[in-house]
Structure 1
């Protein structure tokens, strides 16, 4: 079919975020399970994603890479799932703001922490890295998820899939400190049926790969 939705992933990667998003969308999709360093580097897959990274999706003739972009695309491509605030509505600003805050400052700050990269305590240097400091990133995130059910207020959106995934992984792997507001928010998201289904699928695939 010309509008077939194909999902390229591995079971222990950022593809887990997109799997959750796809389960929230509820549209039929076909998953192509790849292996790092072999099928992800093949000429066939590089035609989909020249970086040789997962996840990616192909929706008909449209290819989308980068996890945040995929989440945003799916929310707009399947509006019936109600995973994005209305265009022009006041909630659209926080929706974009926090999704791409996680894709930019959060991702950069936590990656640098993992790699042991220390930004010099110099205002000019902190300005160059964009996120300033990990502490300021964490404080901003805490403010975003405190006092409301979801990033955009009462509506669950794709931004919650993306931000919630980063918070969950960060707390699990020690790149983000555990704070009550984070734990409450992530617990609320993890209890969603689509989130449970997505975890079960990827956990099963991972177990099968490890057993094989």
Structure 2
């Protein structure tokens, strides 16, 4: 089954990492893994464009089926291989509802994170404003407070409850990315506890970004958040 799959991905990318974790959780090792370099522009190569006209990663193909959105790939893998590997959608209705809520809320967290981390990269120098930087940082702080409360009050230890689900598959990479950029663990103790508790999970440990392993020291852009 996995031999019919091809995943083109980039190291450190949260969307790519989600798919890598999902494949591990479903015991779908043995797929064709194509690691590409963002720095070299390999995500814009013809190899990628042939299945993803936007030239973005991840780009995923299973037989003649193409999925290029990370949430879609993760959901597809769970749907197609529900009886293989770890079950990622809980049976309990309450946990399932919480899973979907946290899973898609993760997109808001990822966007607010990107608004801070990539501001200088996305916005031309002449169009940058200190007020926008301040507003983006305040929005990320407010968003992190929401997740801190979820983890403090939730039935835990995972985002949807007692089981590791698609919510964790899709949100954990963004949380790890925040700490990679220097998020202060003392200011966000529950988020930090969640982050550290899952580092040793086999699917996460096996897919830890190779560039992070090569250079364990991250950046300090978020140290004051």
* Secondary structure, counterpart of 2:60 in structure 1: strand
Contact 2:48 2:56 (8 Å CA) reproduced: no
Once the two structures are superposed, what CA deviation does each residue of 1:95-125 show, in whole Å capped at 9, x if it has no partner?
Answer: 121111112x11221111121675599xxxx
Deviations 1:145-187 (A, max 9, x none): 224101110010121122122111102203x443110111112
1:84 aligns with 2:89: yes
Q: Which runs of 5+ in 1 are unaligned?
A: 208-212
Q: Does the alignment pair 1:30 with 2:46?
A: no
Taking the aligned partners of 2:196 and 2:12, their CA distance within structure 1 comes to 20
CA-to-partner distance for each residue in 1:23-47, whole Å, 9 max, x for gaps? 1111132212223354321233212
Out of 44, 64, 69, the residue aligned to residue 66 of structure 1 is 69
> Against the structure 1 CA distance between its residues 108 and 205, is the aligned structure 2 distance closer, same or farther, given a 3 Å change threshold?
closer
Cα displacement (A) at 1:206:
7.5
2: distance between equivalents of 1:73 and 1:133? 32
Runs of 4+ deviating beyond 6 Å: none
> Offset of 1:142 from its aligned partner?
1.1
Residues 1:141 and 2:143 aligned together: no
For residues 85 and 110 of structure 1, do their structure 2 counterparts lie closer, same or farther at Cα, with a shift above 3 Å needed?
same
SS in 1 for 2:207: helix
Match runs of 1:7-46 below 5 Å? 7-14=7-14, 15-28=16-29, 29-36=31-38, 37-46=40-49
The reply to whether residue 56 of structure 1 matches residue 62 of structure 2 is no
Cα distance change of structure 1 residues 12 and 163 upon mapping to structure 2, 3 Å threshold: closer
Choose which of 190, 199, 207 in structure 2 pairs with 1:198.
207
Give ranges in structure 2 of 5+ residues lacking alignment: 121-128, 215-225
Partner of residue 177, structure 2: 169
Q: Which residue of 2 aligns with 1:185?
A: 194
- What's 2:111 paired with? 108
Say if 2:6 and 2:34, in contact at 8 Å, map to a contact too. Answer: yes
Answer yes or no: is the 8 Å Cα contact 2:44–2:55 preserved in 1. yes
Q: 1:170/1:92 Cα in 2 relative to 1: closer, same or farther (>3 Å)? A: same
Residue 78 and residue 170 in structure 1: after superposition, are their counterparts in 2 closer, same or farther (change >3 A)?
A: same
Return the offset for 1:94: 1.5
**Does the 8 A contact of 2:3 with 2:32 survive in 1?**
no
Number of equivalenced pairs: 194
TM-score (norm 2): 0.74
Q: Give the Cα–Cα distance (whole angstroms) in 2 for the partners of residues 120 and 40 of structure 1.
A: 29
